[in-house]
Amino acid sequence: MDALLLMVVCFSGYILAYHTYGRFLARKIFKLRGDAAVPSHERNDGVDFVPTRKGIIFGHHFTSIAGTGPIVGTAIGVIWGWLPALLWVFFGSIFMGAVHDFGSLVVSLRNDGKSISEIAARYINKRVRLIFFIIVFLALLIIIAIFGIVIATVFKLYPESVVAVWLEIPIAIALGWAIYKKSANIKLATTIAVAAMYGGVILGAWLEHAHPGLTSFPADFVIPPTGMWTIILLIYAWIASTLPVTTLLQPRDYINAWQLAIMMALLAAGVVASALFGGGDFKIVAPAINKIGPDVPPLLPMMFVTIACGAISGFHSLVAGGTSSKQIAAEPDAQFVGYGSMLTESALAVLVILCICAGLGMGHDGQTGSAAWQGFYGSWMGTKGLGDKLQPVVVGAANMLGSLGIPQTLGFAIMGVFISSFAGTTMDTAMRIQRYVVGELAEDLKVPKLSNRWAATTIAMITAAALAFINTQDGKITFGANALGALRLWPLFGTVNQLLAALALLVVTMYLKKKGGLKYLISGIPCIIMLIVTGWAMVLNEQTFCAEKNILLMVIGGVVFLLAVWMTVETLILFCRNIATATKQD
């Protein structure tokens, strides 16, 4: 199959979907109105509720949801073959993921910018709110812990990315100050900020080349490098999550959105250049459907929870109802921010598939073609380390960028900054959302001292740190200074994340059900599919955790599964009761 043709067909499909199905949802299902009151104006406090330009809030939302999910998950998921991975990413995003994101954003907008957990109480019942809160807390706990170690690992693997990532912070603060305090021209300020950011990428690559190890912690340091970076990143996330959104979070996400747009443009140009000038070396070398080895889990249901971001992801509903709904300046912007962001993330997942399934075949360690692909995918990728999961993406991307004349060293630096930057935006957004969750829980439990932003964020940081440094082996729980314990949570991350998507769709379905008619089927059908697939995957995972005597994953997974079943049953009872009442009235 021709890689260039695949890219053109998929990207054209996303544009068509946005202007047809996306518009149908906006106008006919959710009926967005430009004159409707929105939380950013009604509750403007200059800290969390801030009316924001559509382009800037798109940047925040997009970079918060994009993270490393569509990279790592897709890098694992293509082991079942490029065809099922591509079909799930393409159709899943249009009819499930984007509906989930868009619906969650609109429902939060029309409920004072409250989280999806709080909204569950209004459309289902108060017991469900508490259940949802607990599931969300556990999901965010896993996300913060995992993404902290993801960045730390990328820093270790690609030290040339360290300087550029940290330089983004003062650049973002300066951009926010220029736009909000000095009313600077946005286009000019953005151009300068993005240029400075890429200057940092070049500087980081040069420093690492000229002075190897300059930006790394020594291997014999008191705390291993990954542990040190995890601690520093959690402290950074605490600071970023307590500052007003316009100070750091929003401008950093905005310039990162430009970084991602440029990166995607470079990769797309790399596909074109490699296809036209690659001398026949650029073609899809991965099998359309791979013959699964004995160590690889079954495609159904596991691919649908392995490839989450890029198709559908529950974390997106937390961003929609956590930060984005508090900054949307007008209801019609929700289509661009909610539906548009999901399709753009899916386009990124398509590029990742092409990097792995075609770019990797251009050469690695003296091998080319299918042999290069098999070098990574000859065994189950899920059990390998994070570096092994990221390497096929980075190598494939660097090969394609090489067709544009970009040296491999600089290509590695660009990809390292790209991956770690977006993991960072996800991490600090997740920390802020966890602060909201802890604060709302504290208010419900009548503990107001824990509801302020500093106390709530501290709880979020400490619990994530504890989880990051936990190790489980042979049925025993210990703490390790390298913070690699969080990586053992990855098998749980996919199922909990997808379960969260199903439950968010459940809330959106109940919202649409109250509006009357059959509108609720738009979200109800995807909800049922995700409940079945995710429940099935969670049962299989629990069997694996029990066999491995992995107590931590077994307990967390079991608790989340039972809570989800409880919430689903409560909702189903209410749904059937409403139908029975409506039938009697007729």
First-to-last alpha carbon distance for the chain, in angstroms, is: 55
Which amino acid is residue 341, in one-letter code?
S
What pLDDT sits at residue 328? 96
Distance (Å, whole) CA 459 – CA 442: 11
| Residue 63: alpha-carbon gap to chain centroid | 8
More confident residue, 152 or 403: 403
Strand partners, 52: 328
Express each pLDDT in 467-499 by its tens digit.
888 766 555 655 566 656 666 676 678 888 898
Reported CATH class of domain 3-279+292-585: mainly alpha
What pLDDT sits at residue 364? 85
- Coil, helix or strand for 298? coil
Close Cβ partners of 381 (under 8 Å, ≥ 6 residues apart): 75, 76, 79, 388, 389
Domain chopping of the chain, boundaries = 3-279+292-585
pLDDT over 70, % of the chain: 94
More confident residue, 409 or 514: 514
What pLDDT sits at residue 471? 66
Torsion of CA 342, 348, 353, 356, to 10 degrees: -150
Where b means 16+ CB within 10 Å and e means fewer, 154-169 reads bbbbbbbbbbbbbbbb
pLDDT of residue 583 exceeding 60, the answer is: no
pLDDT over 90, % of the chain: 42
pLDDT of residue 383 exceeding 80, the answer is: no
Q: Residue 301: is the preceding peptide bond cis (ω within 30°)?
A: yes
Give me the helices (H) in 403-520, please. 408-444, 453-468, 490-514
**What is the enclosing helix (H) or strand (E) of 479?**
strand 476-479
CB 351 within 8 A of CB 274: no
- Three-state SS for 539-566 is HHHHHHHHHHCCHHHHHHHHHHHHHHHH
Which amino acid is residue 499, in one-letter code?
L
What is the dihedral sign for C-alpha 302, 305, 310, 311?
A: positive
Q: Minimal CA–CA distance to 377: which of 362, 393, 400?
A: 393
**Residue 328 DSSP label:** B
Phi, psi of 378 (to 5 degrees): -75, -15
Express each pLDDT in 34-61 by its tens digit.
999 999 999 999 888 999 999 889 988 9
- Coil, helix or strand for 531? helix
CB 149 within 8 A of CB 483: yes
Q: What is the pTM of this model?
A: 0.89
- Coil, helix or strand for 364? strand
Q: Minimal CA–CA distance to 127: which of 567, 560, 501, 565?
A: 567
**For the purposes of burial, counting CB atoms within 10 Å of the CB of 318, is it exposed (0-12), middle (13-18) or buried (19 or more)?**
buried
Q: Minimal CA–CA distance to 437: which of 566, 322, 328?
A: 322
Q: What's the rounded mean pLDDT across residues 559-566?
A: 88
CB 350 within 8 A of CB 92: no
What pLDDT sits at residue 14? 98
Stated length of the chain: 586
Least confident among 277-281, 284-288, 292-296, 544-548? 277-281
Strand partners, 470: 479
What DSSP line would sit under 110-156, residue for residue? TTTT--HHHHHHHHT-HHHHHHHHHHHHHHHHHHHHHHHHHHHHHHH
What pLDDT sits at residue 104? 97
